[in-house]
Structure 1
Amino acid sequence: MNSTEGSLSQSGERAFGIYVHVPFCSVRCGYCDFNTYTADELGEGATRASYADTAILEIEQAGRSLPDAPPVQTVFFGGGTPTQLPSDDLVRVLHRVRRTFGLAEDVEVTTEANPDSVTPESLATLREGGFTRISFGVQSAVPHVLATLDRTHDPAGVPQAVRWAREAGFEQLSVDLIYGTPGESMTDWRASVEQAIALEPDHISAYALIVEDGTAFARKVRRGEVLMPDDDETADKYVLADELFSGAGLDWYELSNWARDEAAQCRHNVLYWRSADWWGIGPGAHSHVNGERWWNVKHPAAYAQRLTAGESPRHDGETIDAATARVEQIMLETRLRSGLRLDSLGTTARAAVPGVVARGLADVADDRLVLTRSGRLLADAVVRDLVEQG
């Protein structure tokens, strides 16, 4: 038994989730730095046809390492585009999670999907197989913005995909948006937000486009082929989205996420923000259990080779010490509408709180520090103040 397995067996009292990484996409988007691959980028041993069986091998390994794990509260299939796999394969993986760990009675099971990667039949199979929530990567309602992002779907087809998901019986439906794409006007962004609201989702995520090193997009920016918007424009788009979402009955519960009510919040992501426990299945997937964090080998072929040989796919890991855990708690809980508990701060960090409040960046309620809208726009600065003082 390795050191990680020894500590994992003590995890039974903590909330526990499973993340399943599906690394396949039909097209690699220029802005994306996730561990994803198109079909022609992978060799033998890492095909879509064999992927579910490989993931199941890791689930079985996880079960042996976590004999005392509580029933799984959330399962999240992300990527990549999980719905690039046949729905039957996704259901098989979920059923293996159920047989290995058990699922909580009110388990949340999410899959990400592109609007053009689903059919009424595939959605019905997922829902009947136990999936409760679907998150559509809409990103924009404007064709030229989607083209800049290398997205493949026709925005006119989004309402149809959403209707199919509702007809299949999904309990929760989410829409993902991206703002701050080069060439996106405020009018473009308003159109995207208004279309998303018109879909009547239970949940919306809206993320500012970030240029990640090593991506095709970063190279275009470096060559001056595309110009990123300035910070003021990006902030204006966030404020517009927040105003329109709030007016439609969607309240923020995390910096980039809005929901109709508490039941519509993404419980799996809340699990991350609360530093609970999860096991990440798949190439490059990260896990966090009982103070241990580790990550798998990145390439799908290497991942498959290790598992078929009966070996662990783990690449590396670390033990999280108390100081690191405290900093991460500040970074994560500050993002939440429920706020950061003041009693989690050291004396010096607490001394920084009045200054944050005086600048209009946060309020204190029920002994918690809660960001204002202005504070949400400057969340990194608030965290930096608290961490540096701590």
Structure 2
Amino acid sequence: MPSTLPDGDPVPASGELPESALAGLGERPFGFYVHVPFCVTRCGYCDFNTYTASELGPGAAQRDYADTAVDEVRRARANLGAARLPVETVFFGGGTPTLLPAGDLVRILGAIEEEFGLAPGAEVTTEANPESVDPAYLAELREGGFNRMSFGMQSAREHVLAVLDRRHTPGRPARAVREARQAGFEHVNLDLIYSTPGESDDDWRASLAAAIEAGPDHVSAYSLIVEDGTKLAARIRRGELPMPDDDVAADRYLIADTMLAEAGFEWYEVSNWATSEAGRCRHNLLYWTGGDWWGVGPGAHSHVGGTRWWNVKHPAAYARRLAAGTSPAQAREVLGSGDRAVERLMLELRLAQGFPLGELDRPRVVARALADGLLETEPFKAGRAVLTLRGRLLADALVRDLT
């Protein structure tokens, strides 16, 4: 949830969607993203639309947030009309959603179920910092319909966590995973970050080993991105910390893929590994395969039928708009066929299932990618462009060449 929102076209006060967006509604998978923009402290690397208590200012309070979010869920139902839209995935992200009482998260989920209905076997996830939950909290979530947890581990090394300004101590993520399992959560993810300044290869191996030992069925591993305007960027600019190195990041990725594969994890998206197909994050797959979703919350992005819109950033402005009975959307864009095709290629090529060769119109680029070892040979023969391990490292460059 980046803190800087793009420009776009105005949105009607009613939030009414164009006819092109509503065409085919219900034929594509549909999900909800719920953004909870609160954090105890701001991590030095974070550029997300989040707020600590001191940053909220007047007109916004955590205690009122669930009511406001429920108002937007009801607005979503009104704007999407009477189409049958059973919700296949719900994802609470942030921020730290678990700073709200568990009952508030359950109440927002209940509003989604009441207005739209949950599809049988719907995936319901919340992110959490390991220190923001305890067994009773997790049990309340599980009882209330949540069935997947995603914990922000980032690293197992204290000095790496200190650079990232993370508050939890090494060992706490593993205990959180155990507590989630005891509460009845079958699916648990751990998020990791690599290439933090001061992290060594051995530090990264130790973090991976700790994550694997904790027993999740899903691991996400992302290279640290230094975002302008963050505390981390300022420290690097002043020379206090080195800028992350791309070659080091590539080496760390290779280490991750090797260790995770040896532990029984398979990659299904460039930065994501799971122990089974059931363990894959279906909500993210909905994003990556062109589904529809409604984003609830300040700064949240939505996409329905090629129309994308985003809400006003600040929680106070967001609450004021909903209290006034108007859409919280700040702006929107209607994607043309060309933009949708490029976006589809960019997202689907990163998946283990790959992209249909017949839909790529750069035969020389494709042939060179195969010759350079960026695409797997057997899927290529079957008509799919599937990235090799080396191809995963160069995925962004290959997409640029193909568009």
TM-score range, shorter chain: over 0.9
Distance 1:306 1:69 in 2: 27
Indicate conservation of the 8 Å contact 2:219/2:273, yes or no.
Answer: yes
Corresponding residue for residue 373 of structure 2: 360
Q: Deviations over 1:294-316 (max 9, x none)?
A: 00000110000000111100000
Q: Deviations over 1:205-264 (max 9, x none)?
A: 000000011111111111211102322211111000100000000000000000011110
Distance 1:106 1:199 in 2: 25
Within the candidate set 191, 203, 212, 2:218 is matched to 203
What does 1:129-140 correspond to in 2, within 5 Å?
A: 129-140=144-155
State the TM-score, normalized to the length of structure 1: 0.97
Corresponding residue for residue 383 of structure 1: 399
What is the aligned length?
A: 385
Within the candidate set 37, 47, 63, 2:61 is matched to 47
Q: Deviations over 1:57-94 (max 9, x none)?
A: 00000001112142000000000010010000000000
Please tell me whether residue 273 in structure 1 is matched to residue 288 in structure 2.
yes
Distance 2:18 2:312 in 1: 18
Distance 1:101 1:341 in 2: 33
Identity of aligned residues (%): 59
**Could you say what secondary structure the match of 1:232 adopts?**
helix
State the TM-score, normalized to the length of structure 2: 0.94
Indicate conservation of the 8 Å contact 2:16/2:79, yes or no.
Answer: no
Corresponding residue for residue 264 of structure 2: 249
Shift of 1:121: 0.6
Distance 2:302 2:174 in 1: 35
What does 1:189-228 correspond to in 2, within 5 Å?
A: 189-228=204-243
Within the candidate set 364, 377, 386, 1:370 is matched to 386
What does 1:1-390 correspond to in 2, within 5 Å?
A: 4=17, 6-10=19-23, 11-67=25-81, 68-346=83-361, 349-364=362-377, 365=379, 366-387=382-403
**Could you say what secondary structure the match of 1:4 adopts?**
coil
Shift of 1:43: 2.1
Query: For the aligned residues, what is the CA RMSD?
Result: 1.1
Distance 1:50 1:268 in 2: 26
Distance 2:321 2:119 in 1: 30
Q: Deviations over 1:343-388 (max 9, x none)?
A: 2223xx233211001011112512110111111111111111111x
Shift of 1:159: 2.1
Greater relative contact order, per chain length (Cα 8 Å cut-off, separation 6+) = 2
Indicate conservation of the 8 Å contact 1:9/1:69, yes or no.
Answer: no
Distance 1:2 1:231 in 2: 42
Q: Deviations over 1:318-342 (max 9, x none)?
A: 0010000111111111110100111
Q: Deviations over 1:123-154 (max 9, x none)?
A: 00000000010000000000000010000001
Distance 2:304 2:45 in 1: 30
Distance 2:17 2:364 in 1: 37
Flag structure 2 segments of 5+ consecutive residues without an equivalent: 1-13
Distance 1:339 1:309 in 2: 45
Distance 1:40 1:69 in 2: 42
Indicate conservation of the 8 Å contact 1:8/1:65, yes or no.
Answer: no
Q: Which moved more, 1:336-345 or 1:18-27?
A: 336-345
Flag structure 1 segments of 5+ consecutive residues without an equivalent: none
**Could you say what secondary structure the match of 2:358 adopts?**
helix
Distance 1:232 1:301 in 2: 43
